[in-house]
């Protein structure tokens, strides 16, 4: 059983167990599981039968397995016999080749060790040879350095009649370069005395070259100056030449020109100082600029940036710092604009894109730009511009103030004029600086937003604003100004575009500013609704008089109405006065919208009141008719002829209720004629107006039909 629990070396996927009798009490495939366990096998099959039955079945299946194994051996018997025959004598063959292989391995190890020893000796020799070559090169350099020292000592420290001999300086420069090159390779062999001598000779060469440079600057011919600059360039001392020119030529001149006293005494102020500085370039640096510009004869120099500008900027920061003070914005603006023109003229002098970029990237150029405190300047301008507008918007006494004559082409409310003035001031000369474009653009948008907020506050009526006409007049003026400010948006965009930077798109600016125009359009729509409500409020109280019409005709013996009642004129008076007063100012389309808005609401209320009165009249008429019929039936036997006469009289003359209906019809038709003839609005465009006309006409027709 233990033998059966151990599966074959191959997996169950390669072969399968032979089939056993069908009466076995267990599954033969359980023996192929990798996790087969005898205990689990017995536990799972405990219910299949007793242990004796399991033992017998296992014995039966063992016989099956043995039979299958014997059959398998019989099938492959020839292969088993051949395999055993081939393996005879294999051990002796292996033992025969083992000895030669070990000997070969030992010989390879000996050769490897010998090669490694030889390579180590060769590497040591190569290192020694390399060191010897280095020593040899150093000794050769030492010899050349000593020779160069002797030559330079004779050239520079000996007595010479001409201390500024260009040929001598050129030879000394070449010898010095060779000396410095050789010293670099033999510094460890050169004693301190020789090194000090080399440094002394270098300093002497630079001192003589300095003198030669100063003398060449005064020569009218540029050949000597060009020769001197080439010597400096040969020595790789271009920076030294620039520093010499800065300290010996630029600094003394700028010390006299750039100072607070010079600024105060200059007739032209800062402009005069800048002109003197630029005159220095044309007078003292003309030859230098021509020789050292990018397409000039000598390369590697930038006297404008490293000598001229470095000294000018340092002097301005230390000796004339008052120009940077932003306390007086007007003076600051003039000084800054003057300075920008000064920098532009320097760029024109440089006249090369790469050199200009180098000039702008210079550390002192950036420091100079940062000294101009533009944020503080803008803050002062912001307070000046914003304070005036805020004072105007915060003045509650002037909130309802309107120009004496309202105009459709100009602003009527002071706040709009103040806002447009503030926007214009943001972009006018003397205030706007291109470097602050985005800040002034933001301020412009803030001004428009503040005006929009003020408009929302102005919609609310004041406590002391008792006169209704003044309220309407102010709202109309505000409506007109909102439309005008919307029309001004394109001109504001054009103003901003004219001042915009090169990288700012007009489309982007239009999109930004048009948002303010959308806000004003929304304010105008709200204001239109407010004006309509004001007119409706002024008109609706007159409709209460409609309910008084029955009292005017019942038992008063009035004539048949031929014209409308006075309340209709009073009902139309507010919108009529509004149309006559402001038609030309608000425009035909806007006036039409105003009137339609008023008529829509008033007509709906008019319809309700007329309907209530007609319903009341009809009920009263029916009550009187029933009462009359009762009286007629009771008095029929006594006076039949009188009843007939009375009935014919009633049919001949309109009753009081008929007069009421006719009066309501006259009122409605007068209202309709005004809408169609004066307001130029079709009756179908007004809510409930066709239904109102039909209501009174049906009342008249229904009355006469019933009588017939």
Domain annotation covers residue 333: no
298 & 445 share domain: no
302 & 384 share domain: no
Q: What percent of the chain has pLDDT over 90?
A: 15
Least confident of 139-148, 157-166, 377-386, 635-644: 635-644
297 token code pair: 């004869």
pLDDT of residue 188: 62
Which of 306, 324, 342 represents a domain boundary (last residue)?
Answer: 324
pLDDT of residue 385: 92
Phi/psi-derived region of residue 73, left when phi > 0, alpha when psi is between -120 and 50, beta in every other case: alpha
Which of 307, 324, 341 represents a domain boundary (last residue)?
Answer: 324
pLDDT level of residue 138 (50, 70, 90 thresholds):
confident
188 & 286 share domain: yes
Burial (CB count within 10 angstroms: exposed 0-12, middle 13-18, buried 19+), residue 170: middle
Of 494, 369, 498, nearest to 435 by C-alpha is: 369
581 & 455 share domain: no
C-alpha 90/C-alpha 98 separation (Å) is: 13
pLDDT of residue 640: 47
- Domain holding 264, by residue range, is 160-324
Domain annotation covers residue 693: yes
Over 433-444, what HEC string results? Answer: CHHHHHHHHHHH
Number of domains composing the chain: 4
C-alpha 412/C-alpha 410 separation (Å) is: 6
pLDDT of residue 408: 60
What is the CA angle 242-316-362, rounded to 5? 50
pLDDT of residue 644: 42
pLDDT level of residue 42 (50, 70, 90 thresholds):
confident
pLDDT of residue 653: 66
C-alpha 563/C-alpha 555 separation (Å) is: 20
Cβ atoms 671, 703 nearer than 8 A = no
Cβ atoms 381, 431 nearer than 8 A = yes
> For residue 157, what are the CA distances in angstroms to 142, 143, 160, 209, 478?
21, 20, 8, 14, 93
Model confidence at 573: pLDDT above 70: yes
Each residue's pLDDT tens digit, 122-136: 998 988 888 888 777
Domain annotation covers residue 20: no
Domain annotation covers residue 367: no
499 & 548 share domain: no
Better pLDDT: 598 or 170: 598
Each residue's pLDDT tens digit, 162-186: 566 778 888 888 888 777 777 776 7
pLDDT of residue 708: 44
Q: What percent of the chain has pLDDT over 70?
A: 89
Each residue's pLDDT tens digit, 227-277: 888 888 888 888 998 999 999 999 999 988 988 888 888 888 888 999 999
188 & 244 share domain: yes
Mean pLDDT of 383-410: 72
pLDDT of residue 647: 46
Each residue's pLDDT tens digit, 58-112: 888 888 888 888 888 888 777 777 777 777 777 787 888 888 888 888 889 999 9
Query: Rounded to 5 degrees, what are φ and ψ at 403?
Result: -60, 155
499 & 569 share domain: no
176 & 296 share domain: yes
How far, rounded to the nearest angstrom, does the alpha carbon of residue 678 sit from its chain's CA centroid? 53
217 & 319 share domain: yes
What is the CA angle 439-444-446, rounded to 5? 95
What is the CA angle 55-61-62, rounded to 5? 85
C-alpha 508/C-alpha 489 separation (Å) is: 14
Cβ atoms 598, 535 nearer than 8 A = yes
Least confident of 239-243, 556-560, 575-579: 556-560
Sign (positive or negative) of CA dihedral 548, 554, 556, 561: positive
Cβ atoms 343, 366 nearer than 8 A = no
Domain annotation covers residue 601: yes
Q: Strand runs (DSSP E) across 414-501, as ranges?
A: none
Each residue's pLDDT tens digit, 269-323: 888 999 999 999 888 888 888 888 877 788 888 888 888 988 999 988 888 888 8
Domain annotation covers residue 552: yes
Helices and strands, counts by H and E, the chain:
29, 0
Burial (CB count within 10 angstroms: exposed 0-12, middle 13-18, buried 19+), residue 156: buried
Cβ atoms 149, 200 nearer than 8 A = no
486 & 563 share domain: no
Model confidence at 8: pLDDT above 70: no
Cβ atoms 294, 353 nearer than 8 A = no
Model confidence at 641: pLDDT above 70: no
pLDDT of residue 3: 39
Single pTM value for the model: 0.68
Which residue shows structure tokens 């029933």?
Answer: 626
pLDDT of residue 377: 92
> For residue 240, what are the CA distances in angstroms to 165, 344, 514?
20, 27, 59
585 & 676 share domain: yes
Domain annotation covers residue 117: no
Model confidence at 467: pLDDT above 70: no
Domain annotation covers residue 679: yes
241 & 388 share domain: no
The whole-chain average pLDDT of the chain stands at: 82
């Amino acid at each position: 059983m233990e033998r059966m629990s151990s599966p074959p070396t191959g997996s169950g996927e390669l072969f399968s167990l032979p089939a056993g009798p069908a009466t076995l009490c267990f599954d033969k495939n359980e023996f192929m599981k990798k996790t087969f366990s005898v205990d689990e096998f017995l536990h799972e099959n405990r219910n299949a039968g007793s242990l004796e039955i399991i033992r017998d079945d296992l014995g039966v299946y063992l016989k099956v397995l043995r039979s299958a194994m014997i059959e398998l051996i019989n099938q492959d018997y020839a292969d088993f016999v051949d395999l055993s025959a081939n393996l005879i004598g294999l051990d002796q063959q292996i033992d025969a080749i083992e000895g030669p292989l070990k000997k070969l391995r030992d010989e390879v190890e000996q050769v490897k060790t010998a090669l490694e020893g030889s390579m180590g000796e060769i590497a040591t020799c190569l290192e020694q040879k390399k060191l010897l070559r280095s020593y040899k090169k150093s000794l050769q350099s030492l010899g050349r350095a000593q020779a160069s020292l002797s030559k330079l000592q004779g050239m520079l420290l000996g007595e010479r009649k001409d201390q500024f001999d260009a040929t001598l300086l050129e030879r000394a420069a070449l010898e010095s370069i060779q000396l410095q090159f050789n010293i670099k390779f033999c510094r460890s062999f050169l004693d301190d005395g020789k090194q000090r001598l080399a440094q002394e000779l270098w300093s002497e060469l630079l001192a003589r070259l300095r003198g030669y440079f100063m003398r060449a600057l005064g020569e009218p011919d540029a050949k000597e100056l060009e020769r001197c600059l080439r010597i400096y360039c040969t020595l790789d001392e271009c920076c030294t030449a620039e520093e010499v020119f800065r300290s010996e030529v630029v600094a003394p001149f700028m010390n006299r020109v750039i100072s607070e006293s010079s600024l105060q005494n200059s007739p032209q102020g800062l402009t005069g100082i800048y002109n003197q500085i630029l005159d220095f370039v044309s007078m003292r640096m003309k030859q230098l600029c021509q020789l050292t510009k990018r397409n000039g004869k000598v390369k590697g120099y930038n006297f404008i940036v490293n000598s001229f500008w470095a000294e000018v900027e340092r002097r301005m920061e230390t000796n004339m710092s008052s120009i940077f003070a932003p306390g007086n914005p007007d003076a600051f603006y003039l000084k800054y604009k003057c300075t920008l023109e000064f920098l532009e003229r320097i760029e024109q002098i440089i006249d090369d894109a790469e050199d200009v970029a180098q000039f702008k990237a210079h550390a002192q150029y950036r420091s100079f730009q940062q000294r101009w405190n533009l944020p503080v300047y803008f803050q002062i301008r912001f307070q000046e511009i914003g304070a005036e507008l805020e004072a105007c918007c915060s003045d509650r006494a002037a909130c309802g103030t309107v120009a004496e004559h309202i105009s459709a082409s100009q602003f009527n409310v002071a706040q709009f004029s103040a806002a447009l003035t503030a926007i214009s001031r943001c972009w006018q000369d003397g205030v706007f600086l291109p470097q602050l474009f985005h800040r002034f653009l933001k301020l412009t948008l803030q001004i428009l937003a503040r005006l929009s907020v003020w408009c929302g506050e102005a919609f609310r009526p004041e406590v002391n604003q008792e006169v209704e006409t003044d309220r309407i007049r102010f709202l109309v003026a505000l409506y007109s100004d909102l439309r005008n400010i919307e029309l001004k948006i394109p001109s504001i965009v054009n103003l901003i575009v004219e001042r915009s930077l090169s990288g700012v798109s007009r489309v982007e600016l239009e999109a930004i500013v048009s948002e303010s125009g959308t806000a004003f359009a929304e304010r105008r729509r709200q204001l239109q609704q407010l004006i309509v409500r004001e007119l409706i409020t002024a008109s609706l109280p007159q409709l209460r008089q409609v309910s008084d019409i029955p009292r005017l005709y019942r038992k008063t013996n009035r004539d048949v109405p031929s014209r409308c009642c006075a309340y209709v004129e009073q009902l139309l008076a507010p919108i009529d006065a509004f149309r006559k007063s402001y038609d030309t100012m608000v425009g035909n389309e806007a006036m039409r919208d105003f009137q339609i808005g008023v008529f829509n609401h008033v007509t709906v209320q008019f319809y309700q009141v007329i309907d209530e009165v007609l319903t009341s009249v009809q009920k009263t008429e029916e009550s009187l008719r029933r009462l009359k019929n009762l009286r007629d039936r009771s008095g029929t036997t006594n006076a039949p002829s009188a009843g007939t006469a009375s009935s014919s009289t009633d049919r001949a003359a309109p009753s009081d209720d008929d007069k009421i209906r006719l009066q309501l019809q006259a009122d409605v038709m007068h209202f309709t004629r005004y809408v169609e003839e004066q307001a130029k609005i079709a009756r179908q465009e007004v809510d409930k107006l066709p239904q109102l006309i039909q209501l009174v006409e049906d009342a008249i027709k229904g009355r006469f039909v019933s009588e017939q």
